[in-house]
Structure 1
Amino acid sequence: MGVLGIGIDILHLPRLKQVLSRRPDRFLTRVLTKAELVDFEKLKTELNGDVDHDKAIRFVGVRWALKEATYKAMTPRHKLTWQDVTIYKDQGKPCLDIPEKEKFGIGTAHCSVSHDGEYLVAQVLFESPELPSQHPHNLP
């Protein structure tokens, strides 16, 4: 395994809240994929339609920061867009879905998010694809 790229992003959540207060629909459709928008709408339903609720801001913030970290991990090799990456949860852990990751030369993707008070930090690490002959079980 080789490291293809690593990226990190920090986000001040009140800044995101301010951006969302101006034109939330335009911002959300630009940044979130269709699958993420479906998850966001489910969350909004749970929050009685409140986009300003802390959970809603954190939901968008996690996706924003992970996508920024992803972009940084792949630059200058590839310039991924907001719509190239979908963030989802698997057993409570954030995960990245990049449908054409092989096209971008990405093997395994790892990500982590942490938040404290008004700040959220996200980190992404991409491994290079492992060639079959590099696997330890294929050694002579």
Structure 2
Amino acid sequence: MIVGIGTDLCVVERFEAMLERRPGLLGRLLTPGEQELSLPSQAARFAAKEALAKALGSPGGMRWLDCEVTKSEVGVPSFVATGTVAARIAALGISSIHLSISHDGGYATAMVVCES
């Protein structure tokens, strides 16, 4: 059963400008591994986290760093959730999270479906 869905679109140029205005923000949004990626890939990870928050009902108190976007050996993206994000996932009885991310032409997008 679908528990929640979320989507997000991020303009890479705006994401970059936001990071330039607030230099410490990157360390609060992305894990060290995510920070090593290219700017478009960082924007896609940010979009993925936004989409997940929407799929989880956008509750307050969740920490961005309690969620990391990783890829399998064949490139399939997924989330590794800990702390506040893992607690919300458990509270909603979510057993599976599907993630699709993409970036091209100055945009990054993500779609999330949560199932119980």
Quick check: TM above 0.5? yes
SS at 2:10 equivalent? strand
Residue 95 of structure 1 deviates from its aligned partner by 0.8
Question: 2:44–2:103: 8 Å Cα contact kept in structure 1?
Answer: no
Q: Percent identity?
A: 34
Deviation at 1:89, TM superposition (A): 1.3
Q: Report the counterpart of residue 49 of structure 2 in structure 1.
A: 67
Letter of the structure 2 residue corresponding to residue 115 of structure 1: H
CA displacement at 1:62 relative to structure 2: 1.5
Once the two structures are superposed, residues 21-63 of structure 1 have per-residue CA deviations (whole angstroms, 9 ceiling, x without a partner) of: 2233x1112112xxx31453xx3xxxxxxxxxxx621132111
Q: Which whole-Å CA distance do the structure 2 matches of 1:3 and 1:73 have between them?
A: 10
| Number of residue pairs the alignment of both structures matches | 109
1:96 partnered with 2:64: no
Q: Which residue of 1 aligns with 2:111?
A: 123
Q: Deviations over 1:87-125 (max 9, x none)?
A: 111122211112333244211110001222011110001
Provide the alpha-carbon RMSD of the alignment: 1.8
Instruction: List, as ranges, runs of 4+ consecutive aligned residues in structure 1 with deviation greater than 4 Å.
Output: none
* In structure 2, distance between residues paired with 1:16 and 1:122: 15
Q: What SS is found at the alignment partner of 1:28?
A: helix
3-12 vs 83-92, greater mean Cα deviation: 83-92
Q: Which runs of 5+ in 1 are unaligned?
A: 44-54, 129-140
Residue of structure 1 aligned with 2:96, choices 100, 108, 114: 108
Structure with more of its chain in strand, by fraction = 2
1:74 to partner: Cα distance: 0.8
Instruction: Quote the Cα distance in structure 1 between the aligned partners of 2:102 and 2:26.
Output: 22
Q: Normalised by the size of structure 2, how large is the TM-score?
A: 0.81
TM score, norm. by length of structure 1: 0.69
SS in structure 2 at match of 1:72:
helix
Taking the aligned partners of 1:73 and 1:114, their CA distance within structure 2 comes to 18
